Amino acid sequence: MAETIYNGTGRRKTSVARVWLKKGGGNLSINKQDVSSYFPRETWQIKVMEPLKITETLNDYDVSVTVKGGGLTGQAGAVSHGLSRALLKANETLRKKLKVAGLLTRDSRMVESKKYGKRKARRGQQFSKR
């Protein structure tokens, strides 16, 4: 009998995370690494584990994640978003908990592009009196 695998795609800034869930003992690997070695900061680890803690499914699924693009903050947000979507496919009754926590909404904030004649997107040249 084939084991059921649920998938979800999460995005944040320029990061994209592909998440696969299957019934198991709670193993979580990101790009074939442990969570604590891939995301050294505790805030990133908390962000990644948030959907599992809210839905109380920490030890119910084995999670495999492939994430690329952007920095580690964006990647942590993308993994959280993808994990939420995959959990929703696995169990539709978790929607209310995930929705209230705001984990199903894609964070659409992106870096503003640089404008010509400016140093950054909005920062202009420094005025020199002399």
Predicted confidence at residue 110, as pLDDT, reads 94
Answer yes or no: are the C-beta atoms of 20 and 6 closer than 8 Å. Answer: yes
- Does 120 fall in a domain? no
Classify residue 121: in a domain, yes or no.
no
Domain with residue 21: its CATH number is 3.30.230.10
pLDDT number for residue 42: 97
pLDDT at 1: 61
Q: How many CB atoms lie within 10 A of CB 91?
A: 14
Range of the domain at 96: 5-100
56 lies in some domain: yes
> Is 118 part of a structural domain of the chain?
no
Residue in the block written with tokens 């929607």 = 95
Kind plus residue range of the DSSP H or E element containing 29:
strand 28-30
pLDDT less than 50: residues of the chain: none
**pLDDT tens digits for range 56-81:** 999 999 999 999 999 999 999 999 99
pLDDT in the model for residue 130: 85
Question: What's the domain count of the chain?
Answer: 1
Q: Is residue 91 part of a domain?
A: yes
Q: Is residue 124 part of a domain?
A: no
* pLDDT score of 117: 95
